[in-house]
A and B are shown apart, each in its own frame.
Chain A
Amino acid sequence: MPSPRDTPRRSSPEWLAELRAGSPSAITACYRAQAGSLLTLAMRLTGERADAEDVVQDVFVGLPEALRRYEERGLSTAWLRGLTTRHALGMHRCVRNRREVPHGAESLKVPAHPIAPRGDSAHIERALSTLSDNLRHVFVLRVIEGHSHSAIAALLGITPGTSEVRLSRAIKALRSQLGDTI
């Protein structure tokens, strides 16, 4: 299985044309190469596996049409991650509007499951999931994905200053969660 950070090996113009045309075999190849890392990203952004799976499924349903508006020689992993990020944030916004959020639960959420033993990768992800959506989104986009604060501000509809403040709060909260791990 190719590295999730690599562009799929089958990124020739012919393969891209097949993907644009919606060929099931091309979609399958792309899915096998990229779906895992996209699902991880979507889970970090939405905080829910079920929502993240919906996001990834939507991305692969809409990928051929989205590719028709994309003019590059190879399929860029960064572009695919950007596509997933936007869809995850958009879908999460809709889902969040439907769910009731208790007033005052701004900075920390109570994790659905107890945090796993330190050093476990699940421990890291669960520590992230304890952050509020606002803090988690900025942390994921800035620290893990490497977007600039201006780009994050545009994605989240906030100011770059707010993004910086949220990043500091997220790091502080995570530091207390992951104290011994880092």
Chain B
Amino acid sequence: MSRFVGHPGDESRVRIAHGEELGNESEPMSAHVEAYAECLAQLRDIQSMRALFTDAPIVPASEALLAAALERRARQERVLLAHDSPSAVPAASPAWKRLAPLAIAATVAIAAFALWPRSETPSVATSTRTADSSIEPKAPPPPTSDNPLGALSPWPLAAYAQSASDVLEVPYPAITTFDTTAVKSGTRTYVQSSASSYHDYMPIGAEAIELRDTTYKGVRIWRVVTSSPCSSRKP
């Protein structure tokens, strides 16, 4: 009898049943199985179990199933099937397709860096516009459906999205759906953006803005006390 290699477990028996290589253990394992009646019986057990399933009659597939598949194809229906088996060699994609994910990742990283809140330590504080809060503010134009942020923004065509902590959540609010009730008094970082018929939201910079609210003719309005760019992408 060959040296004792231990009783083979289910996995080893399955490998023997499949005729797979067991490496260095192959020869002693075969000798072991032949020597131990119980191990041999268990190996036969696995082999018979496998044979039961591989020799079992196949389930006939109906013509109706084929007809349904062909009908779906005729309707231009398509199914995306994942295949990754070792026997499948994926077709080489063009270079631009392989680089596309990289380009998208780089764009996202640049955008995230540019929009990251820096209100506490503004890296590019080029100018600060300050208004004297003791002076009664000049009444801004009331919000209209065309420019709902007219009361808020010193730039009529620019809009401020939510504070920087919220701007990463998409989809961003469009100008026409901007909720001015979410604006709060005090200094917060806002993203300056513009909108057009093609883009609901196009960030062009970030600003630390100090806002105060007041009531003008019974309507709550906002005024900008200070605004400091904290992004170098200011147009």
Contacts and interface: CB of A to CB of B under 8 A. Distances in A.
Interface of A: 4, 22, 24, 27-28, 31-32, 35-40, 43-44, 49, 52-53, 56-66, 68-72, 76, 78-79, 82-83, 86-87, 90, 121, 124-125, 128, 142-144, 146, 149, 164, 167-168, 171, 174-175, 178, 181-182
Interface of B: 9-11, 14, 17-18, 45-46, 48-50, 52-54, 56-61, 65-66, 68-70, 72-74, 77-85, 87-91
Nearest to B83: A83
Contacts, number: 147
Contacts of B90: 69-71
B89 to A, nearest CB: 5
Nearest to B60: A36
A4 B87 contact: no
Contacts of B91: 68-71
Nearest to A3: B58
B53 A57 contact: no
Contacts of B46: 143, 171
Given A27-B70, A57-B65, A171-B10, A79 B81 contact: no
Nearest to A142: B14
B169 to A, nearest CB: 26
B53 A82 contact: no
| Best-surrounded residue of A37, A72, A128, A144 (most CB of chain B within 10 A) | A144
B61 A56 contact: yes
Nearest to A83: B83
Contacts of B69: 27, 31, 57, 60-61
